[in-house]
Amino acid sequence: MQRDPAQGNRVFLTDEEFAARSEKMKVAAGRYDKDSSSDKLGQGHWVEMGAPTRRTSLLVSPANGRLPDKTAEGTRRSALMRSSWRKGQSFDWVTDFDSWDRCITRGMPASMLPMQYNNGIRIFQAPNLVAIQLEMIHETRLVPTDGRSVQTRVMRTLGESRGRWEGGNTLVVETSKIQPGPSATSIVTTGSPPENDTPISDQARIVERFTMTGPNTIVYEMTYTDPVIFTAPWTVRLDWQKNDKYKFFEYACHEGNVQLRNYINASRAERSRIAGGAKASQ
């Protein structure tokens, strides 16, 4: 997501840096076979490795490839967020988890950003409507292109989107009315703030541009503006490649989601142990 500060405003890796990245991804991709040979289910079966790119960061604006600073209000709201990603946090009820922990949604803008798995995106086009189906959580964004509003319950987490065509091959989608709140999911992608510490306000706005650059390629750009949280807008760019062999499988997160209960039980037990020890030492 963010660029190494040592790379300054450089958009692309050097040959040496690209070789190092390629080798790192090659090693990571080998974890799948290593898991299988050792009869263990580890990160190799979770983390999906793609092909390396030469870009130094997904962020193309600001020019330094780094997220802008938060405002004072953004910093205050960030401290109120709860998530299993946050270090040093205790858990006592479901409200201590964010909406991704609870298998509800990654929300926006996170849902359009890559993670370590379930990165598939399907785009369907019909007269006056585009549907964007997401592998993670299996949500579907409905984007009318005739100016009308689509009111659905999904709108509360993914916002209300309207699309228009520019230049014949670029779909521009503007999204607002994104559900704010301390438990909304954050940016959450590799190389972004690691603790789900980016809140969303009711002033958040997103402008996406889907540009066909060939029969099987799309350049995806997203500009995110939230003046309550960030001191400036920021923009990411991803280069998408069509893959007809890629398949979506069932996203059965709720059915097997015992993690919340386990987090809560373990956290309560740990607090009870600490309290008991403190009482005994008095």
DSSP type of residue 195: T
Most confident listed range (132-146, 152-166, 205-219): 205-219
Distance (Å, whole) CA 202 – CA 236: 21
The answer to whether 144 and 125 have CB atoms below 8 angstroms apart is: no
CA angle at 175 for the pair 170 and 176, rounded to the nearest 5°: 160
The mean pLDDT value for 25-47 works out to 85
Band (pLDDT 50/70/90 cuts) for residue 45 is confident
Backbone dihedral region of 116: left (phi > 0), alpha (psi from -120 to 50 degrees) or beta? alpha
Residue type (1 letter), 40: K
The pLDDT of residue 69 is above 70: yes
The answer to whether 56 and 10 have CB atoms below 8 angstroms apart is: yes
pLDDT, residue 44, reads: 82
Most confident listed range (41-50, 58-67, 80-89, 92-101): 58-67
The mean pLDDT value for 142-159 works out to 76
pLDDT, residue 263, reads: 93
Q: Output the six-digit token pair for 220.
A: 């995806």
Band (pLDDT 50/70/90 cuts) for residue 256 is confident
pLDDT, residue 148, reads: 83
The mean pLDDT value for 44-63 works out to 89
Q: Kindly tell me the burial class for residue 204, based on how many C-beta atoms sit within 10 Å of its own C-beta (0-12, 13-18, 19 or more).
A: buried
pLDDT tens, residue by residue, 161-193: 999 999 889 999 999 988 886 566 677 777 777
pLDDT, residue 217, reads: 96
Strand partners, 125: 130
Which pTM value belongs to this model?
0.90
Distance (Å, whole) CA 154 – CA 169: 27
The pLDDT of residue 269 is above 70: yes
The pLDDT of residue 213 is above 60: yes
Please, what sign has the CA dihedral across residues 199, 189, 135, 220? positive
pLDDT, residue 282, reads: 64
Strand partners, 276: none
pLDDT, residue 103, reads: 87
Band (pLDDT 50/70/90 cuts) for residue 150 is low
Band (pLDDT 50/70/90 cuts) for residue 236 is very high
Share of the chain above pLDDT 90, in %: 54
211-215 own/partner pairs: CB under 8 Å, 24+ apart:
211/169, 211/170, 211/171, 212/169, 212/170, 215/242
Most confident listed range (41-50, 96-105, 130-139): 130-139
The answer to whether 197 and 86 have CB atoms below 8 angstroms apart is: yes
Most confident listed range (23-32, 63-72, 188-197): 63-72
The mean pLDDT value for 267-282 works out to 83
Q: Output the six-digit token pair for 155.
A: 């709108």
More confident residue, 110 or 42: 110
Contacting residues for 274 by C-beta, under 8 A, at least 6 apart: none
pLDDT, residue 149, reads: 73
